[in-house]
Amino acid sequence: MAVPPKWHGAFTLKAFKAGKRVLCEKTLAHSLAEAREMADASLNSNKINAIHFPLHCLKEVALLKENYIMALSAPLDVLN
């Protein structure tokens, strides 16, 4: 959603009505009621409503990924 955050709700609802999937930057909504309305519209349209959080830049996320990949490549007896 390439609009200012205050318009995320209104434009997201329009996108779902048009049968589109939505990717919003944070902040998704300005209230719990607006977020629920967006979630309901997503479910009713059977379309995805995703939020973009640029977590890939965080050191902690890189460490989690590294540990996860190491766990996947470890022999099964090491994981038990």
Per-residue pLDDT of 46-63, as tens digits, reads 998 888 776 666 777 777
Distance CA(75)–CA(54), nearest Å, equals 32
- Report whether 37 contacts 47 (CB < 8 A): no
Q: Take residue 52 and report the two structure tokens written for it.
A: 């973009």
SS3 28: coil
- pLDDT, tens digit (0-9, with 9 covering 90-100), for 34-45: 999 999 999 999
List of domains in the chain: 5-79 (3.40.50.720)
**pTM given for the model:** 0.62
- Placement of tokens 């766990």 in the chain: 71
Distance CA(65)–CA(10), nearest Å, equals 35
